[in-house]
Structure 1
Amino acid sequence: MDTLKDEKKITAFLNKIKTEWPGKIERFEFKTTTVIYVHLKEGISSIDFLGSLSRKVERFVDFTIPIILYHIESDGMNLRSHPINWYSSFSK
């Protein structure tokens, strides 16, 4: 039951990211429930996006399971990983 709640919270988390950075995200793609590809729009650098995201993203996290976001540039050539909530299971 908690996993289902977390899955809904992760979807809300992704929607908050898309709202916070309008015009930068093309789409999200779930590879698994904890591995999510963030496809960036053309001309958006994955390293710049990761830098701006990492400074603000923690305030959006309200779920307990760890996830990994992979930021992918529109050409598919650059891929950067961003663990979120990675150490949350150790604090319980």
Structure 2
Amino acid sequence: MENLKEETKIKAFLTRIKAEWPGVVERFEFKTGSVIYVHLKEGISSMDFLGKLSRQVERFVDFSMPIILYHIESDGMNLRSHPINWYSSITQGKSF
């Protein structure tokens, strides 16, 4: 049940990304539960998109599951990864 809630929150997170940058994201493709390809529209640089997203992503994240977004330019030549919550499962299990 918890996993279903996390998946719903991740889909809402992706919807917010698409709404925040209209005309930038072509589509999202789930490769696994934690690996998501972000296909960018023609003329959109994955480096620019990563820079914009990394500055604002914290206000969109409301889930704890670790995921990796791979930003892919329309020509398929550039691919950049962006881990989100990647260390959350490690830090949740440790007490200090």
* Aligned residue number for residue 42 of structure 2: 42
After superposing on structure 2, the runs of 4+ consecutive aligned residues of structure 1 that deviate more than 2 Å are none
Q: Partner of 2:56: helix, strand, or coil?
A: helix
User: TM-score when scaled to structure 2?
Assistant: 0.94
Aligned pairs, how many? 92
Could you list the runs of 5+ residues in structure 2 that have no partner in the other structure?
none
Q: Which amino acid aligns with 2:83?
A: P
* Aligned residue number for residue 91 of structure 1: 91
* Aligned residue number for residue 7 of structure 1: 7
Bigger radius of gyration among the two: 2
Instruction: Tell me how far apart the structure 1 counterparts of residues 50 and 72 of structure 2 sit (CA, whole Å).
Output: 10
Q: Provide the identity percentage.
A: 78
Q: Partner of 1:75: helix, strand, or coil?
A: coil
How big is the shift at 1:90? 2.0
User: TM-score when scaled to structure 1?
Assistant: 0.98
Q: Which amino acid aligns with 2:42?
A: E
Q: Partner of 1:71: helix, strand, or coil?
A: strand
Could you list the runs of 5+ residues in structure 1 that have no partner in the other structure?
none
* Aligned residue number for residue 72 of structure 2: 72
Cα deviation digits, residues 38-83 of structure 1 (max 9, x gap):
0000000000100011000111111111000000000000000000
Q: Which amino acid aligns with 1:47?
A: M
Q: Partner of 2:63: helix, strand, or coil?
A: coil
* Aligned residue number for residue 29 of structure 1: 29
